[in-house]
Amino acid sequence: MQLHQRFIKTAQKHSDKIAVHDKATGNDYTYSKMLIASLILKDHISKIRGKYVGIMLPTSMGCMLGVIGTLMSGKIPVMINYSTGAIENCH
């Protein structure tokens, strides 16, 4: 079972439980909220051409959702080092 498939099963089983506490915002996110957000992102990411999707975000809720949404779309997330900056990542 792949990561996004396990996440979907867990979200279905524990929909109202807190999945993540985002220290940056102080917000709690339930599995159901994360699943809905991931599915919305999946729809947008599915429209991107190509097999790989670059993700350049700090470690955050947005990054987690981006990875899950990318996997749900059948594409491969490519993590780009956020801390080095855009210029250093252009090789």
| Range 3-84: architecture per CATH | 3-Layer(aba) Sandwich (3.40)
Tokens describing residue 45 = 């990411």
Query: What whole-number distance in Å separates Cα of residue 45 and Cα of residue 9?
Result: 21
Summarize pLDDT for 39-62 with one digit per residue, the tens: 999 999 999 999 999 999 888 899
Q: What is the pTM of this model?
A: 0.84
Domain range summary for the chain, segments of one domain joined by +: 3-84
| Closest residue by Cα to residue 44 from 75, 62, 8, 69 | 69
Query: What whole-number distance in Å separates Cα of residue 61 and Cα of residue 23?
Result: 10
Q: Residue 85 has what pLDDT?
A: 59
Phi/psi-derived region of residue 50, left when phi > 0, alpha when psi is between -120 and 50, beta in every other case: left
